[in-house]
Amino acid sequence: MANTIPLSSLIGFLLHKSYHELTVLSELLPKKSDMERKIELVEYARTTRLLFIRLLALVKWASSAGNLTKCDEVSRALEQRSLIYVDAADQLMTLARTTLVNASLPNFSLAGAIDVLTLGKYPRLPTCIHDNIVSLPPLPREESLRVCTELEHVIQQRLAITALPQKFLTSSKIANGQVQFTVPFEFEVHLTVLGDDPMLPWRLLKLDILVGSKHTSMMETSIHPQQKDYLHKLLQSRLFTDQSPLLDLYNTLHTFCMALKLELLHLQVQLFSSQVAGDHVKVEEYFPGKLLRIGYWRHDTSQHYLSNFTMEQLSMTGKILITIGGTSSCDLSFVLEHTPALADCDACEACEMLDVRLMIDKCVNTRSKMILQDLLILFKNTAFEPHVSMCDEPLSLQIQLLSSNQCHLHLSVDKRIGRLIASVLPLTTNNAVQDKLEEIERDLLGNRSNLLNLILSLQLIVAMVVVMDTVVDCGLNYSTHLPILKPLPLSLPQMIYVHLPDVPNIYLVVGVSRRDGFCDVEYLHYLLETLHVPSVPLPHLGVVGEPSVFLATRSLVQLDGQLLLSSGNRTIPVLASRMLLKRKFDLSNLQLPSPKRLCLVAKADVSVGVCAQLSASQAAITHLIKQLTRAGIVHHTIHHEAHMSPVVHVLQLPFPSGCDWESYQLLSNRLKSCEVRWCEGKWIVKLLLLQDVIVSVHGASSVAVCRYVYGFSEDVGERLIHDWSSLLKLLAPVLELASYQQEGSVAVEGWTMTEFDFHKLKISNRSSEQLTILAEKGKLFLQLADDNPFNMVHSSLELMLNRSLCLPQLLQGMQSTIQPIILLHGLHNEIKQHTQQYISIQSKSPSLILLVFINMYCIELYLNANSTITIADGGSSAVDPAGIQGRTTPLWYLQSFLQRFLRDQSGEESYTMATMSATVSSIATPITPSQTSSRSSTSASAAVLAPSPYPIASPRPSPIVSLSSPSPPPLPSLPPLPSPHASSLVAEKRSTSNSGSWSRVLSWEQFLSLLSYNEGDGQCPLSRFLGNFYLLNQFNMQVKQDKMQSGSSREGQIQLRSVDRGVYLFHTDTLDLHIAMDSNNFQKLTFSVQPAQEHVWSDSELETLCEYFHSQVSCPPYSGHAVTAFVRLLSVPLRVLKSCVHLMQLQMSPPADCYWHVRLCLTVPHSIDAPDIAVPGNPAVAFRGKLLTFLEFRGVRSYPGLELVIPILHDPMAKSNSTHLAKLQHAPNTSQLKISIMQAMDNVLRNTAHEYHFSPQQHQSSLYPCIQAIVNNPLTINN
């Protein structure tokens, strides 16, 4: 609408007006006073506010003015209609008053009417109409032919006397009364004359411009029709005036056509640049009708690949200059100049044909050939010269890389940018080849100093790529890298690892190296055997996350690939063994399979395809022959059986060191056969042995078969020798046992051999107890049933058997100690269940058992043959000080404890040291079978010290008691068992050298009482003694450690005063502490406290402290961290210690109406809600100027069953005296209820501590009042 304005424009006007006024104020106000500036600003704000209020009112009104707008439109329409009616009335009035008054009809034409009616026509028209409209009648055909013939004669006569250009003389054609002149690719004209008068000018009948190109879509219409009409008129006018009209006609048209050709060339270059070449081809200079300068191979110097361009190469952009030249207007033509100058370039013909692409291609080809010829000079007088040639299709420099196939390096010039490019077809897509080609191209852009070395490296890479393709075509997999810890001793620039089937740890290593000649590449083949290294993390190598798997080199064998291809030679030639020997040797009689595809020889060396198809069995046989030869095993040649893998027959096994010669001769004579066969990636060794004359076992066959399975990574020769020695080691004890059984010796009474096959022996007794002895890996392994009680001393029995190789002694000892072992085995599980793993049972020998308490105290248990047990302190033992006993502490009270315990049990004194020495001296005589089977008395006085049933070979004998075993009565035909005389001398020597040690003999009933557990506290007398003794020492050690850490005495620090007969006296500033072992029964600690100052401690507080020590510290599970926390509590300042004692009293005697029960933690509980502050199980008290402790709250009346463990931080300084929760980060699984309650507890602590800070009692510690406030607070949480 005409009278409306957009709201946006209105708002814009107001904003501009306001901004303008504000700008004016900013310029004028600085010159005025402060009051004037304030007045102006208020005035500006008022006027601006009024404007925007008006705008707001207008907007609100316009939003509801729709009906008014419609009424306004209706009113306007009615006014327009009224104006139309008024205008019509005015025009009618004017017509009636002025026009109609003067209007009249013309006179009638009577003469014309009469002619029309009488004659039927109107003869009175003007004659000009007839002359201009009515055409003349056409000439007859004969007249036309005659006139044309006469005109042709006139034209010939005129041409004979008129000067003509040279091209008109050869292209004129006269016909149909006109002459036609045609200049190819320029123009064609048709001329005639209107008479035979020599002064009549030529008439131009038709003009055709023939300039055009098939590349421009302007072949027919190279100029506009208006341009053509203008040119036609121009030429006709010049024909009227010029003295040499035809010569002038040619010069004009020829000049015009040359300029038009130049314009078309310019157009083609622009199209070629925009559609094909881009910025690499551009028009550098163009003057219409004069010259055209074209630049190609233009470079953008900002591109990364031009960083190594030299200035000479950057300046080699090609330029083509096209000009129109000639001596006169008649011989104008294109002149083509190239920069730099080119020889033998026929680009001018393409220029005349108006083909820019052809012209540039010819220039590019000529320049590319010149560049490649210059590059060819670099290869002269080098090893490359015989293998470099120039190739025309496509234009490139061809370098032969390999002599065995058609792999060539092509160096060509990129026609778009003029850059030298390298390619190796069809291997250009390979990443390694592509990277090397890029290096070659960068060197070609530079000074080309390293070009020859790069081509040599490319040759090896191409050879390796060909090898990879050959391996893939053979159906095998390969890897370029292996996780080998140490690099292989191979100096090969390129190599791969081919995976052989069914052998995961053997690889065929194929490498390439260069010989003397350039194209003479040598293929090297190795067989690599690896071992898996245990997976371990390597942080020093930057390896994070899961551990990696690495390989270690076991052996490396070189194969002779050339001998593989020899006619009739199907063996595996080996060049080197594990150390890569230089001498070559062959392994004969190993048949190789024929290659899958013989056509592979066209791609790579034939040896690569043959070696890649080596089967796993043939690769394994190669190693087997070396291993057997190195181990000195005499073997036969390899046999090939139908449908089976090759097998090697072993003729004789050598005599291993450490074995019996007679057993070796006997077993060698019974060796029927031994063969080694490869099966599914493993070695199967099968030995057939005759056993009918060696030992008689019920149900046994006459031939025993021993089968061993070895992995490929193992040394078969070494493993076979070890297993052969284990058979010999087992045979000698079996023969000895068989001899004793045949003679009926009491040493092996009750034992029977149930199975024997040279590598396994099964023996059982009357009680169906069975043991199995296996001969493997050069050792004898003892196997027992899971429920066999001798599993406790299994390792010791096995060690004793391998050292002595005497089965009768082993069986006799087991038979003698069967009862103690059974009883001790029953106690083993009970000890673990009650002592929470801080007492462990370990075996050092078949007759020596160790009870270890928290890896600090050790008790030696010697099993005697008469069902008695000898107890000694392992910490004071001088035998094997580097073992467990060497790392433990002596038990000072063990002798007194045992004396008191035995007195309480039997009412009699136990053996003294002198009694034990006398008992030891009485063990000089061998034990008889009756003595072995007799049972000991239950009382301590009837207990007789008996020797150990095992030989002196046991690793841990008693320092006093002899552990030798007596030999049975000698048999007529058998050698006696080892005499105990030597072992007695050793025991006597040890007893005299360690006179300070002692031992005690207990009956089995007494030992059971010593380890009987009480259902109340779940402890036995021995564990209570050890636990309290540990806490006593821990108390002393913690006091010393705190003193060393503090460096100087401080307030409340606990110090050691004296040690008198096992009674420790400690003191602080206000307390004297007495702690010792209870001498009545050695089952608890005595702890008493006396005040060091008067009127400081009350009797109830001291009684609370003693009671807390006995109920929370000196109790199971005997935690050293609890002692540490208690010592730290005693070392805090006095007022803090009093608060802690009150907390102890609050814990042991909680109020009946409290809402929470509180417990002062000595160790950090595992249910702590703040795992970021302390580690569970560590001491729960720390004091470094501030006290950090952990309290456990259990809901009673408020939130029953809810348990919270919170850290409390108390600052005892007089200026602070604060108590609050330590800053903590809750565990992810902490409930919102616990978090809210802990926040409420923190508020209560802070508020209560704040009251004590500003109250008269600020000299008192706020710790206890704050905790008491929580105990008596329900801590209601509002949801």
| pLDDT, mean of residues 339-348 | 75
Q: Binning pLDDT at 50, 70 and 90, where does residue 1123 land?
A: very high
Q: Which amino acid is at 1005?
A: E
- The confidence score (pLDDT) of residue 617 equals 61
Q: Are 609 and 597 in contact (CB under 8 A)?
A: yes
| pLDDT, mean of residues 645-673 | 81
| Best mean pLDDT range from 469-483, 579-593, 969-983 | 469-483
Q: What are phi and psi of 1217, to 5 degrees?
A: 50, 45
- The confidence score (pLDDT) of residue 958 equals 34
- The confidence score (pLDDT) of residue 773 equals 78
Peptide bond into 394 cis (omega under 30): yes
| pLDDT, mean of residues 121-145 | 83
Task: Tell me the pairing of strands 506-514 and 521-536.
Answer: antiparallel
Q: What are phi and psi of 850, to 5 degrees?
A: -115, 130
**Nearest Cα residue to 1147 out of 1105, 1209, 1088:** 1105
- The confidence score (pLDDT) of residue 940 equals 33
Query: DSSP for 847-893?
Result: TEEEEEETTTEEEEEEEPTTSEEEEEEGGG--S-TTSTGGGS---TT
| CA–CA gap between residue 860 and residue 877 (Å, rounded) | 9
- The confidence score (pLDDT) of residue 913 equals 36
523 membership: H or E segment, kind and range: strand 521-536
246-260, 305-319, 1106-1120, 1259-1273: least confident range? 305-319
101-105, 211-215, 957-961: least confident range? 957-961
- The confidence score (pLDDT) of residue 363 equals 86
Per residue in 679-702, pLDDT (tens digit) is 776 788 888 887 654 555 544 556
| pLDDT, mean of residues 1241-1258 | 76
**Nearest Cα residue to 688 out of 667, 709, 710, 713:** 667
Is the pLDDT confidence value at 582 over 60? no
838 membership: H or E segment, kind and range: none
Peptide bond into 340 cis (omega under 30): yes
| pLDDT, mean of residues 1006-1027 | 82
Number of neighbouring beta carbons within 10 Å of residue 1139: 25
Q: What are phi and psi of 392, to 5 degrees?
A: -85, -35
136-145, 683-692, 765-774, 1215-1224: least confident range? 765-774
Is the pLDDT confidence value at 881 over 50? no
Q: Are 205 and 188 in contact (CB under 8 A)?
A: no
Is the pLDDT confidence value at 659 over 50? yes
What count of residues does the chain have? 1279
Q: Binning pLDDT at 50, 70 and 90, where does residue 938 land?
A: very low
| CA–CA gap between residue 635 and residue 123 (Å, rounded) | 147
Can you read off the two tokens belonging to residue 650? 């072993």
Q: How far is CA 506 from the centre of its chain?
A: 26
Helix segments in 907-1000, DSSP class H: 913-921, 929-933, 981-993
Order of strands across the sheet that contains 1085-1091? 1055-1060, 1063-1067, 1071-1077, 1085-1091
Average predicted confidence (pLDDT) for the chain: 76
For residue 280, what are the CA distances in angstroms to 275, 295, 414, 417, 1069?
12, 8, 11, 6, 98
Q: How far is CA 137 from the centre of its chain?
A: 104
Is the pLDDT confidence value at 555 over 90? no
Sort residue 380 into left (φ over 0), alpha (ψ -120 to 50) or beta.
beta
| CA–CA gap between residue 666 and residue 997 (Å, rounded) | 50
Task: Tell me the pairing of strands 779-784 and 548-559.
Answer: unpaired
Q: Binning pLDDT at 50, 70 and 90, where does residue 948 land?
A: low
Query: DSSP for 727-780?
Result: HHHHHHHHHHHHHHHHHT-GGGTT-EEEEE-SSEEEEE-TT--EEEEEEETTEE
Q: Which residue has the higher pLDDT, 566 or 789?
A: 789
421 membership: H or E segment, kind and range: strand 420-423
| CA–CA gap between residue 552 and residue 223 (Å, rounded) | 84
Q: Are 693 and 749 in contact (CB under 8 A)?
A: no
Can you read off the two tokens belonging to residue 1040? 């010393």
314-328, 618-632, 904-918, 1153-1167: least confident range? 904-918
Q: Are 617 and 638 in contact (CB under 8 A)?
A: no
144-148, 161-165, 209-213, 877-881: least confident range? 877-881
Q: Binning pLDDT at 50, 70 and 90, where does residue 1049 land?
A: low
| CA–CA gap between residue 951 and residue 977 (Å, rounded) | 10
- The confidence score (pLDDT) of residue 43 equals 93
119-123, 441-445, 497-501: least confident range? 497-501
Q: Binning pLDDT at 50, 70 and 90, where does residue 968 land?
A: very low
Q: What are phi and psi of 840, to 5 degrees?
A: -120, 150
Per residue in 173-198, pLDDT (tens digit) is 898 889 999 988 888 999 999 888 88
Is the pLDDT confidence value at 202 over 80? yes
Q: What are phi and psi of 705, to 5 degrees?
A: -110, 120
- The confidence score (pLDDT) of residue 543 equals 44
Q: Which residue has the higher pLDDT, 620 or 490?
A: 490
Per residue in 401-435, pLDDT (tens digit) is 887 666 888 888 887 888 888 888 777 677 888 88
- The confidence score (pLDDT) of residue 812 equals 78
For residue 987, what are the CA distances in angstroms to 879, 951, 994?
11, 12, 11
Q: Which amino acid is at 926?
A: P
Query: For the chain, what percent of residues have pLDDT higher than 70?
Result: 76
- The confidence score (pLDDT) of residue 191 equals 92
Beta-bridge mates of residue 499: 477, 507
| pLDDT, mean of residues 903-925 | 43
Q: Are 1107 and 1088 in contact (CB under 8 A)?
A: no
| CA–CA gap between residue 408 and residue 124 (Å, rounded) | 101
Q: Which residue has the higher pLDDT, 989 or 388?
A: 388
Q: Binning pLDDT at 50, 70 and 90, where does residue 50 land?
A: very high
Is the pLDDT confidence value at 957 over 60? no
Q: Binning pLDDT at 50, 70 and 90, where does residue 46 land?
A: very high
The tally of CA atoms less than 13 A away on the side-chain side of residue 811 is 32
Can you read off the two tokens belonging to residue 1202? 């809810």
| CA–CA gap between residue 908 and residue 939 (Å, rounded) | 10
- The confidence score (pLDDT) of residue 430 equals 77
- The confidence score (pLDDT) of residue 587 equals 33
Peptide bond into 1117 cis (omega under 30): yes
| pLDDT, mean of residues 1078-1094 | 87
Per residue in 347-402, pLDDT (tens digit) is 777 777 778 888 888 888 888 888 888 888 888 888 777 788 888 777 888 888 88
Q: What are phi and psi of 826, to 5 degrees?
A: -65, -30
